[in-house]
A and B are shown apart, each in its own frame.
Chain A
Amino acid sequence: VIVYTWFVIGFFIAFIAVNSVVLILAAAEVRRYVIRASSVGLLRMLRSPLTPPISVLVPAFNEAAGIVDSVRSLLALDYRQIEVIVISDGSTDDTVGRLTADFDLRQVSRPTPPFLPHQPVRALYASPSGLRLLVIDKENGGKADSLNAGINFASYPLFCTLDADSILEQDALAKATLPFVEDPERTVAVGGMVRVANGCKVERGRVMEAHLPRSPLAMFQVIEYVRGFFGTRTGWSAINALLIVSGAFGLFRRDVVTAAGGYRVGMVGEDLELIARLHRTCRRARRPYRIAYVPDPVCWTEAPEKAKFLRRQRQRWYRGCLETLLIHRGMLANPRYRAVGLVALPTMLLFEIAGPVIELSGYLVSLAALLLGALAPVTFLLFLAIAVLYGQVLTVGAVLLEDVTPNQHPVWAETSRMRWYAWAENLGYRQLLQCWRIAGLWQLVRKTGWGAMERTGLSG
């Protein structure tokens, strides 16, 4: 028991060391970004005709309720040249019908490009009036399959992936393009900030007023998102070891993704796996590359408010991590893949995959040590205090980083509520997530199903 307690303490010290370094790297990266983002020259670059046009890919499965508003807001984005491609993944509702009726689309004939495999296309719809909107109606094959179809039909060198119920801020695409404009040859993928839209006032596919969610579960996720995006992804991006560009909002070079084989069909963490594969293929090809995170462009998304949907989501994410790590195990601790192989993947293995098991067993074993008298109560309490306080350091540090970016969270004025939730997440929420992850691991072993997330919709 004592040996295991010390092992858990060692694990925790490693956790603190890694996360502290990542937070410091994130601070340096945010500072660098703020300096560059305020430049007059940058604004001119983004408005110039040399800025690459973007194909916005929106995979949709039974999204008839909100798809028209989403597409309308995308077509009105503040970007020089975009096309919107909606991929209906065998929808059984009126997703395609709504789009064709509202945008006056007609069925068109185009040969299916052979670059990436995907389920057969039933029909293509485009606007006769020159509106840059294409609707692909295809057989059901999952999100990765839909994205592959979208990549195939995309006309532009960059593509942006977006969930059908996500909302992009007007200038998000322009800001996310920054690394592609600054360094067009090396940049292959860029991720942006995803914020929780629950509680916000949404009208016609736009966030009109930002508010914090009322649901406690969604509030905890607000804190997690800020910590995850500002405290973690920004830091990994600084050393080109970013392992995830969120499927909800990411920007990619089409030729590089196509050459890497597109999205892998049949797994839940297709976004994570694609990024790992891009690192792998670029390193193997000895191609200078960069996968970046820009901490400013914002995409709003709906977070699950019910425990059962949050559980499914987290189990999906956990399974995605595990599958990606298994597929790319050859990169683990491999110096050929530099920071990705030597730091990022081992960190994912240790803290994301093994973390839940070690943390929960740590609680139990420490408690047993306490009861058996092998651990002094003061030591036990101090250890808990450190864990909680370190969580606060990460949260407050990430919030500080967000506050120094040009696009501060509009509701940070409600700081006291935020702070309460940041403390409260240590009292049950965090442990609950770890339990769900372990249950997910068990499910994976037993190969059971994962279920779908129910969305209540943001509009109205």
Chain B
Amino acid sequence: VTTVLGYATVCLLALTAVLAAADAAVRSAARREERMSRLFGPVAESEIAGYLADIEPLPVAGGKGERAILLRVAIVALGDLQGSERDRLAGMLDQLGYVREARARLGSRRGSVRRRAAETLAVIGTPGALAALRPALADDDVLVRNTAALLLAETADDETAAAVVAVAGQDVLRAPGAVAATVLALGRCRPAAVGAMLRPGVPPELKVIAIAVAGSLRLASYVAELRACLAGRDDIAAAAAGGLGEIGGTQAVPALTAMATDAGRSAAARTAAAAALGSIGDPVAVPALEALLRAGDWSLRAVAARGLAELGAPGKDALRRAAASVAAEVREPAAAALMS
């Protein structure tokens, strides 16, 4: 027993020492990187500024560390620049071999290396860099695939947009957050591409994201598609109601009114429809919302009251009538909405 305990003690001592050494190495690497940044960061900034102002030649970064710092500084600058200056800086990175390096790293066995390479290519954004990024849409790693999809979505042509949509459909269950970011980027840069995700047959999870994006970006060209979605299952209908509320436009009011008063729908879907009616602000919805003040669900009553408050004088009149009700559950939300 003593021998076993002795060996265990030595092993633990060694393990403690190894962990402490590893920690020291991690800290030392962080300090070294910080020191390099402090030393070469300002130099890289000045070289890039000089190159862009055409008063200095192409910067020459020697070692690996210096090259990494130059790239980091350039990437930050690319985020701030636009037009010809941006193109010139991107061209500089291309000339310095960063695109070639990143393209080579896209073939690495490590997912994190491939993802960083994809990010570099996308930020540089020259036609050559984007062409090199395209194959990453078929990468085995979901993170690499979606990094490429997100970044290509911002510069996509029709063909690439279709490939990005395909990646979104493929990964919506595994990486819904990343897919939402990609669809949002697509909606901002190529709103026409969002339509493909609102059609029948698209996975419902992707459709809900596309509806949210259409609403959030107020893509009025999709009102008809969103209205069609109101007839779908509850989660899709609720998302579509929210989207229609954000876009506005009175064409959807009859369908939303029908949905809000449909007792067969879930409370969440009806509440979303009632909220949308309030957001759109068409007084035609007053009778429906007034009727909802007597609904069984608390949230529905509260949203109906808030909606009525947004419908101008007819809505306020309805609230005053409800505020005089003998039923406390009708009176309270109406009175609160009147006071808000």
Q: Give CA–CA (A392, B11) in the complex, Å.
A: 13
Question: Counting CB contacts under 8 A, is A453 at the interface?
Answer: no
What sequence of 0s and 1s flags, for each residue 19-30 of chain B, a beta carbon within 8 Å of any chain A beta carbon? 110110011001
Question: Counting CB contacts under 8 A, is A456 at the interface?
Answer: no
| Of B56-64, B92-100, B173-181, B310-318, the one touching chain A | B173-181
Q: Give CA–CA (A110, B184) in the complex, Å.
A: 35
Q: Are B336 and A41 in contact (CB under 8 A)?
A: no
Chain B residues near A44 (CB, 8 Å)? Answer: 150, 181, 185
Chain B residues near A383 (CB, 8 Å)? Answer: 5
Chain B residues near A41 (CB, 8 Å)? Answer: 119, 146-147, 150-151, 178, 181
Closest to B122 in A: A40
Closest to B16 in A: A392
* Chain B min CB distance to A294 (Å): 14
Q: Are B9 and A382 in contact (CB under 8 A)?
A: yes
* Chain A min CB distance to B82 (Å): 18
Q: Are B5 and A386 in contact (CB under 8 A)?
A: yes
Which one, A36, A111, A393, contacts B16 given CB within 8 A?
A393
Closest to B268 in A: A255
Q: Are A390 and B339 in contact (CB under 8 A)?
A: no
Question: Counting CB contacts under 8 A, is B84 at the interface?
Answer: no
Question: Counting CB contacts under 8 A, is B136 at the interface?
Answer: no
Question: Counting CB contacts under 8 A, is A208 at the interface?
Answer: no
Interface residues of A in 169-218 (CB under 8 A from B): 181-185
Q: Are B332 and A111 in contact (CB under 8 A)?
A: yes
Question: What is the interface size of chain B, counting residues whose CB is below 8 A from a CB of the partner?
Answer: 49
Chain B residues near A50 (CB, 8 Å)? Answer: 180-181, 184, 209, 212-213, 216
Q: Are A400 and B176 in contact (CB under 8 A)?
A: no
Question: Counting CB contacts under 8 A, is A114 at the interface?
Answer: yes
Q: Give CA–CA (A44, B119) in the complex, Å.
A: 12
Question: Counting CB contacts under 8 A, is A78 at the interface?
Answer: no
Which one, A49, A184, A408, A412, contacts B184 given CB within 8 A?
A49
Q: Are A184 and B151 in contact (CB under 8 A)?
A: no
How many pairs of residues, A versus B, come closer than 8 Å at their CB atoms?
113
Closest to B112 in A: A35
Question: Counting CB contacts under 8 A, is A379 at the interface?
Answer: yes
Q: Give CA–CA (A386, B209) in the complex, Å.
A: 54
Q: Give CA–CA (A392, B13) in the complex, Å.
A: 9
Q: Are B2 and A378 in contact (CB under 8 A)?
A: yes
Q: Give CA–CA (A113, B26) in the complex, Å.
A: 51
* Chain A min CB distance to B81 (Å): 17
Interface residues of B in 102-122 (CB under 8 A from A): 111-112, 115, 119, 122
Q: Are A108 and B216 in contact (CB under 8 A)?
A: no
Which one, B151, B213, B339, contacts A108 given CB within 8 A?
B339
Knowing A39-B119, A48-B181 are in contact, say whether A396-B23 is a contact too (CB < 8 A).
yes
Which one, A114, A185, A392, contacts B176 given CB within 8 A?
A185
Question: Counting CB contacts under 8 A, is A14 at the interface?
Answer: no
What sequence of 0s and 1s flags, for each residue 280-321 of chain B, a beta carbon within 8 Å of any chain A beta carbon? 000000000000000000110010000000000000000000
Knowing A113-B302, A393-B19 are in contact, say whether A35-B143 is a contact too (CB < 8 A).
yes
Q: Are B298 and A113 in contact (CB under 8 A)?
A: yes
Chain A residues near B176 (CB, 8 Å)? Answer: 182-185
The 7 closest A-B pairs by CB, nearest first: A389-B12, A382-B5, A111-B332, A182-B177, A181-B177, A396-B19, A45-B181
Complex A-B: 6 CB contacts under 8 Å: A110-B336, A114-B298, A182-B176, A376-B2, A379-B5, A389-B13
B interface residue numbers (CB < 8 A to A): 1-2, 5-6, 8-9, 12-13, 15-16, 19-20, 22-23, 26-27, 30, 111-112, 115, 119, 122-123, 143, 146-147, 150-151, 175-178, 180-181, 184-185, 209, 212-213, 216, 298-299, 302, 332-333, 335-336, 339-340
